[in-house]
């Protein structure tokens, strides 16, 4: 038997699967936890990528 819940704003399909429930748990159902994690880790990831790009650019090509 499939679990059916009301149609949330981020998902147009009514019947949900396990992965959608996990996505709802991580993104939709816990915005007070997921959003700060995104705000914290996304700039850190961006700074790491930027630092690696700077190091690769400044490193001599020889």
Q: How confident is the model at residue 38 (pLDDT cuts 50, 70, 90)?
A: confident
Residue 40 has pLDDT above 80, yes or no: yes
pLDDT value of position 1: 47
| Better-scored residue on pLDDT, 57 or 11 | 57
pLDDT value of position 2: 53
Residue 23 has pLDDT above 80, yes or no: no
CB 14 within 8 A of CB 27: no
* Interacting residues of 21 by C-beta distance below 8 A, sequence separation 6+: 3
pLDDT value of position 39: 82
């Amino acid at each position: 038997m499939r679990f059916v819940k009301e149609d949330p704003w981020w998902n147009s399909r009514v019947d949900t699967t396990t992965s959608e429930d996990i996505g709802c748990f991580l993104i939709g159902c816990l915005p007070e936890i997921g959003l700060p994690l995104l705000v914290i880790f996304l700039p850190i990831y961006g700074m790491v990528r930027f630092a690696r790009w700077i190091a690769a650019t400044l490193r001599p090509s020889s």
